[in-house]
Amino acid sequence: MLTGLLIIPILGVITIFLVGENDLLQKQVALISSLINFVLSLVLWANFDFSYYGFQFVTELSPFVWGRLGLDGISIFFVLLTTFTIPICILSSWDSIKVGIKYFFNSFFNSGNIIDCRIYCFRFTTILYLFRKHFNSDVFNYWNFWS
């Protein structure tokens, strides 16, 4: 299920780029993919065992990538918070973003859902240590460009 939290925003961005220049359809695809991601995080929260100490929903990424995804008691709330706020932010920017809509949603999903899962779900802490400046620069570039 955690890989779904990573794959759904990527599929949403790919679909946004494939629909062409239809602004309304791009916004609808972004909203639907973010709502699907939120529902998936609600399913994770409903199935989370808060009496268990340790990581849950642990999955191996792939045979080619060395690392695991997992949620603990703190990170489940951060993932839930991020997936809750992204549809709200998409709805609040519905009429205000008129130029570069697909790039806006691309940076939004990249800095929101994907970074959230990389920081809170990824158990391979060496990657987080080595690329900590990259995570911060994504968020900085997002706010610097769109504000």
Tokens of 30: 């972004």
Q: Of 19-33, 70-84, 124-138, which one has max mean pLDDT?
A: 19-33
- Does 130 or 1 have the greater pLDDT score? 1
CA-to-CA dists, residue 61 to 15, 23, 66, angstroms? 23, 34, 7
The DSSP symbol for 59 reads E
User: pLDDT tier at 126 (50, 70, 90 boundaries)?
Assistant: very low
pLDDT digits (tens, 9 = 90+) for 42-70: 999 999 998 888 788 887 766 666 667 77
The per-residue pLDDT for 120 is 60
Q: CB-based contacts of 122: which residues, under 8 Å, 6+ apart?
A: 67, 68, 69, 128
The per-residue pLDDT for 96 is 87
User: pLDDT tier at 133 (50, 70, 90 boundaries)?
Assistant: low
Domain spans of the chain, in order of start: 2-146
pLDDT digits (tens, 9 = 90+) for 77-112: 888 888 898 899 889 988 888 888 888 888 777 766
Q: What is the identity of the amino acid at 115?
A: I
The per-residue pLDDT for 4 is 83
* Integer-rounded Cα radius of gyration of the chain: 16
Which single residue is written with the structure tokens 């629909």? Answer: 19
